[in-house]
């Protein structure tokens, strides 16, 4: 039943009609638990509250299924506005973005032009940028664009997904760039031809990625809510005397808040991924797919306590 629910929500996440309806009717049906509002101002407010607790942040202006040049340019300007706001408000935040929002599916020239604009602003205002990984069909292009930009800018990272067979090779091949990488399990529905179908295999691959990247001496963001992976990382860094400033844990806004605070109190860097914007639908569906128990929160939110 849980797998069926996961598949159902991942199917809904890719539904363009539902995405358009969600934009029209706004943040409802429990999404506000995981999304910090529709506006940049609302995200800045959330950042300040988290910073007051001692937690750094990465913000993401949500957007998917961008299929025209005008919208891609608008999304680019949103990112630049966010970079400026981070600097102006003097908050401890990075920026995360998706290449499909910048025109990846439209043309290589467009996405590169938009990304260079963003990176030039990020360099000017001293803001770090992470390119989120999307589904498998866009993995290779995403990594190629990351490598091109990494040759020009230092303040950039990307994401590697543990459920893909190729990921350990990707981590090894990227090592020459000494990259800052965010390591995640992966939240898209993928074929067994390209991804591990069993959670146990995903977890084992995740551990290999963490170990390989940390022992290569690279900065590593372990983005997980899984206590097994968290405890594995703690044991690994203790065993190899890896300094605390070489890695951080990351969790999603609104999920396992007490665990976030506990890790921070234990002395670990705990960064919170804070999404905002009207285009929240696909992100929200993937959060429900990751943990179907989240559905009960939504039901309670819609129909009462």
pLDDT in tens, 95-141: 999 999 999 999 999 999 999 999 999 999 999 999 999 999 999 99
pLDDT-derived band at 283, boundaries 50, 70, 90:
low
Residue 12 lies in a domain: no
CATH number at residue 191: 3.20.20.220
Active-site residues, by number, are 132, 182
Residue % of the chain over a pLDDT of 90: 70
Please give the residue range of the domain that contains residue 210.
36-279
Residue 14 lies in a domain: no
For the chain, the domain total comes to: 1
User: How is residue 296 written in tokens?
Assistant: 């009960």
Give the alpha-carbon dihedral of 128, 133, 134, 140, to 10 degrees.
120
Residue 115 CA to residue 175 CA, distance in Å, equals 22
- Residue by residue, DSSP assigns 3-28 as HHHHHHHHHHHT-HHHHHHHHHH-S-
Residue 65 CA to residue 218 CA, distance in Å, equals 33
DSSP 8-state class, residue 34: T
Residue 21 lies in a domain: no
Residue 18 lies in a domain: no
Helix (H) or strand (E) holding 104: none
Residue 26 lies in a domain: no
pLDDT in tens, 42-61: 899 999 999 999 999 999 98
pLDDT at 7: 56
Q: Which residue has the higher pLDDT, 292 or 260?
A: 260
Residue 30 lies in a domain: no
Residue 286 has pLDDT above 80, yes or no: no
Q: Which residues are CB-neighbours of 121 under 8 A, at least 6 positions away?
A: 79, 80, 83, 84, 127
Residue 98 lies in a domain: yes
Residue range 60-68: average pLDDT? 81
Q: Which residues are annotated as a binding site for FAD?
A: 133, 161, 185-187, 199, 224-225
Q: Which residues are annotated as a binding site for substrate?
A: 98, 286-287
- CB-based burial label for 303 (10 Å; 0-12, 13-18, 19+): exposed
Q: Which residues are annotated as a binding site?
A: 98, 133, 161, 185-187, 199, 224-225, 286-287
Residue 300 lies in a domain: no
């Amino acid at each position: 039943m849980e797998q069926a629910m996961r598949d159902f929500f991942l199917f809904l996440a890719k539904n363009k009609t539902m995405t358009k309806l969600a934009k029209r009717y706004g943040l409802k049906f429990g999404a506000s638990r995981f999304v910090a509002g529709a506006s940049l101002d609302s995200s800045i407010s959330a950042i300040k509250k988290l910073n007051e607790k001692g937690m750094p942040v990465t913000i993401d202006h949500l957007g998917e299924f961008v299929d025209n040049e005008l919208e891609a340019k608008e999304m680019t300007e949103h990112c630049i506005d966010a970079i400026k706001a981070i600097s102006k408000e003097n908050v401890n935040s990075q920026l995360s973005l998706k290449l499909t929002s910048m025109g990846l599916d439209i043309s290589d020239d467009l996405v590169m032009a938009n990304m260079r604009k963003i990176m030039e602003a990020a360099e000017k205002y001293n803001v770090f940028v992470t390119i989120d990984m999307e589904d498998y069909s866009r993995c290779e292009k995403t990594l190629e664009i990351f490598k091109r930009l990494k040759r020009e800018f230092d303040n950039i990272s990307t994401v590697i997904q543990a459920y893909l067979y190729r990921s350990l090779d990707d981590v090894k091949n990227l090592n020459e760039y000494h990259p800052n990488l965010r390591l995640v399990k992966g939240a898209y529905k993928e074929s067994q031809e390209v991804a591990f179908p069993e959670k146990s295999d995903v977890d084992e691959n995740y551990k290999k990625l963490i170990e390989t990247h940390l022992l290569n001496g690279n900065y590593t963001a372990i983005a997980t809510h899984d206590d097994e992976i968290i405890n594995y990382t703690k044991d690994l860094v203790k065993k190899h005397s890896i300094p605390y400033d070489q890695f951080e844990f990351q969790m999603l806004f609104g999920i396992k808040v007490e665990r976030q605070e506990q890790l921070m109190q234990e002395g670990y860097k705990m960064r919170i991924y804070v999404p905002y914007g009207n285009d929240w639908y696909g992100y929200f569906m993937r959060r429900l797919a990751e943990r179907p128990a989240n559905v009960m929160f939504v039901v309670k939110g819609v129909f009462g306590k």
